């Protein structure tokens, strides 16, 4: 049984990553189009093309991490040495140079590709740590739950304070572009400290060695049926979350408005995208806490399918909520229920990756934990890329009008064509519902049941005790 401090320390790693990731997924499309002032088609292509490099960098990083040998272990050292670079790249990503459009577009490509490369260098080894912190499948679910609980906690902090913090910098006299950069600098400093806590509070307990060639690792991976299935399922889940999250800033700016209020009695509070998303993060945290119970009662596969069925239904219902004071409350309630379910999903997916890693180690008699977990990072990024790009492309195709710098400064609501407004409503409802149904269909073929994993873990314990890989 792992110590509580180790579970918390492991959670800190994704707390830092998620604070940045939610900025990339939820606010970067809006930043590029309304603050950085890229054309919607250019912003969409930027978000998508950078993932082509990720398709190469993620498995490369997994291979490198699998073959790393240090006194701190195989994967932990990257938390220590990459974290400072990670923070600097985040600041550069949200920096808007006063250049001509073409030069700004090049800068956006450079900083985004650099940021995603560094994200890979720290997040792939961090994810692979789950495979070497314990050899027990259920304990891995516990670690995953702590990971996602802290991840959503970090996301809550980031999303709740982001808009007020940026507005505070803007109100102090900074231009909107500088306000976004200063806000990211604050986030970067906080994330650096949290990554270091993760390094010092964790330890690798399971010794695994990759003793075959890189080509053999890849060949084995391509023949790994559970890996292909979990990739498709995880990509669908990440696509679901990214589409809704990336749409939220546009949805509130153009359908809800900048001055909508949530009223309760004599009190009222501004109803803005950050509040909507951060309330969802709290609900995510509650959902994470129930994951172990659900998987113990129903198994990982059944839980995955059942949760996605509920997500599909709730997403469709979201479409019919009216834009009114009562509707604002209903939207918030619906966001809570949807987020409770996505909270169950997140640690479940990571735990299933760990099971796939154990399956591969037993089948091939060599550990490729980093390579397999790099695919999880790749699925997360592809889901984010396709989701973010799809939002921008669909809005562009439906005639969405971006704001001028002056309109952004005063948070002016502008008249959008009816086609763009309908597109925003579908991006928050029917489109995510279709993705959830796709995730259910893919997971139907997942073969690693609870009974099979119990047998796999038992055999692996014997092999690890008898053979020095």
With H, G, I as helix, E, B as strand and everything else as coil, classify residue 414. coil
Across 226-248, average pLDDT: 89
Across 53-76, average pLDDT: 81
Instruction: Give 15 or 136, the one with higher predicted confidence.
Output: 15
Answer yes or no: is pLDDT of 1 > 70: no
Q: pLDDT tier at 87 (50, 70, 90 boundaries)?
A: very high
Q: What is the mean pLDDT of the chain?
A: 86
Output the pLDDT for position 339.
94
Output the pLDDT for position 466.
65
CA angle 321, 327, 333 (to 5 degrees): 85
Tens digit of each residue's pLDDT (9 = 90 or more) over 277-316: 889 988 988 998 898 899 888 989 999 999 999 999 999 9
How far, in Å, CA of 443 to CA of 228, rounded?
Answer: 10
Candidate ranges 277-281, 371-375, 412-416; pick with highest mean pLDDT: 277-281
How far, in Å, CA of 442 to CA of 399, rounded?
Answer: 34
Answer yes or no: is pLDDT of 43 > 90: no
Answer yes or no: is pLDDT of 368 > 90: no
Which residues contact residue 325 at a Cβ distance below 8 angstroms, ignoring those fewer than 6 apart? Answer: 261, 262, 263
Biggest alpha carbon–alpha carbon distance for the chain: 70
* Burial of 368 from C-beta contacts in 10 A (0-12 / 13-18 / 19+): buried
Candidate ranges 140-154, 204-218, 345-359, 436-450; pick with highest mean pLDDT: 436-450
Answer yes or no: is pLDDT of 358 > 90: no
Residue 376: closest CA among 361, 345, 354: 354
Q: pLDDT tier at 425 (50, 70, 90 boundaries)?
A: very high
How far, in Å, CA of 33 to CA of 236, rounded?
Answer: 25
Q: pLDDT tier at 370 (50, 70, 90 boundaries)?
A: low
Q: Provide φ and ψ at 428, rounded to 5°.
A: -95, 0
Answer yes or no: is pLDDT of 375 > 70: no
Tens digit of each residue's pLDDT (9 = 90 or more) over 335-349: 999 999 999 998 888
With H, G, I as helix, E, B as strand and everything else as coil, classify residue 261. strand
Residue 144: closest CA among 429, 338, 354: 354
* Burial of 203 from C-beta contacts in 10 A (0-12 / 13-18 / 19+): middle
Across 254-259, average pLDDT: 88
Q: Contact at 8 Å (CB) between 53 and 117?
A: yes
Q: How far apart are the first and last CA of the chain?
A: 24
Q: What is the DSSP letter of 209?
A: -
How far, in Å, CA of 314 to CA of 169, rounded?
Answer: 37
With H, G, I as helix, E, B as strand and everything else as coil, classify residue 270. strand
Over pLDDT 70: what percentage of the chain? 91
Which residues contact residue 152 at a Cβ distance below 8 angstroms, ignoring those fewer than 6 apart? Answer: 18, 281, 282, 284, 285, 288, 343, 346
Answer yes or no: is pLDDT of 221 > 90: no
How far, in Å, CA of 226 to CA of 165, rounded?
Answer: 44
Output the pLDDT for position 201.
93
- Secondary element (H or E) of residue 224: none
Q: Contact at 8 Å (CB) between 142 and 387?
A: no
Output the pLDDT for position 469.
45
- Secondary element (H or E) of residue 367: none
How many residues belong to the chain?
A: 469
Across 217-232, average pLDDT: 82
Helices of type H across 202-299: 214-222, 225-251, 273-298
What domains can be seen in the chain, in order of their start residue?
Answer: 4-197+210-466 (1.20.1250.20)
Output the pLDDT for position 427.
96
Output the pLDDT for position 409.
67
Q: How many CB atoms lie within 10 A of CB 134?
A: 18
Q: pLDDT tier at 333 (50, 70, 90 boundaries)?
A: very high
pTM summary value? 0.71
Answer yes or no: is pLDDT of 215 > 80: no
Candidate ranges 108-112, 142-146, 200-204; pick with highest mean pLDDT: 108-112
Q: Provide φ and ψ at 263, rounded to 5°.
A: -110, 140
């Amino acid at each position: 049984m792992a110590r509580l401090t180790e579970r918390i320390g492991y959670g800190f790693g994704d707390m830092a990553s998620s604070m940045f990731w939610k900025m990339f997924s939820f606010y970067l499309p809006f930043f590029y189009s309304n603050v950085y002032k890229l054309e919607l088609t250019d912003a969409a292509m930027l978000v998508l093309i950078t993932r082509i490099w990720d398709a190469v960098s993620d498995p490369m990083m997994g291979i490198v991490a699998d073959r790393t040998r240090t006194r701190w272990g195989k994967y932990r050292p990257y938390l220590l040495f990459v974290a400072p670079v990670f923070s600097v790249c985040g600041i550069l990503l949200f920096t808007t140079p006063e250049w001509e459009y073409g030069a700004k577009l090049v800068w956006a490509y450079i900083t985004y590709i650099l940021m995603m490369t560094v994200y890979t260098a720290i997040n792939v080894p961090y994810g692979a740590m789950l495979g070497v912190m314990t050899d027990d499948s259920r304990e891995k679910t516990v670690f995953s739950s702590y990971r996602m609980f802290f991840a959503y906690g970090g996301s809550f902090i980031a999303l709740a304070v982001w808009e007020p913090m940026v507005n505070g910098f803007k109100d102090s006299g900074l231009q909107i572009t500088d306000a976004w950069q200063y806000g990211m600098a604050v986030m970067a400093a906080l994330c650096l400290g949290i990554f270091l806590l993760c390094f010092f509070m964790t330890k690798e307990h399971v010794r695994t060695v990759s003793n075959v060639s890189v080509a053999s690792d890849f060949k084995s991976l391509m023949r790994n049926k559970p890996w292909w299935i979990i990739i498709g399922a995880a990509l669908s889940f990440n696509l679901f979350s990214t589409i809704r999250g990336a749409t939220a800033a546009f949805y509130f700016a153009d359908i809800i408005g900048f001055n909508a209020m949530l009223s309760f009695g004599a009190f009222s509070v501004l109803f803005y995208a950050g509040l909507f998303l951060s309330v969802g993060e709290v609900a995510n945290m509650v959902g994470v806490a129930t994951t172990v119970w659900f998987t113990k009662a129903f198994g990982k596969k059944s839980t995955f399918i059942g949760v996605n069925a509920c997500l599909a239904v709730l997403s469709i219902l979201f479409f019919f909520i009216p834009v009114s004071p009562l509707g604002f409350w209903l939207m918030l309630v619906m966001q809570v229920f949807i987020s409770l379910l996505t909270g169950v999903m997140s640690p479940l997916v990571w735990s299933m990756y760990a099971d796939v890693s154990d399956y591969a180690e037993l089948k091939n008699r060599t550990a490729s934990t980093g390579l397999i977990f790099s695919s999880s990072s790749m699925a997360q990024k592809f889901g984010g890329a396709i989701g973010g790009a799809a939002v921008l492309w669909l809005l562009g195709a439906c005639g969405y009008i971006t704001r001028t710098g002056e309109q952004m400064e005063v948070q002016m609501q502008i008249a959008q064509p009816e086609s763009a407004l309908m597109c925003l409503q579908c991006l928050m409802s029917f489109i995510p519902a279709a993705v959830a149904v796709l995730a259910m269909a893919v997971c139907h073929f997942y073969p690693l049941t609870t009974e099979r994993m119990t047998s796999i873990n038992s055999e692996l314990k014997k092999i690890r005790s008898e053979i020095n890989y």
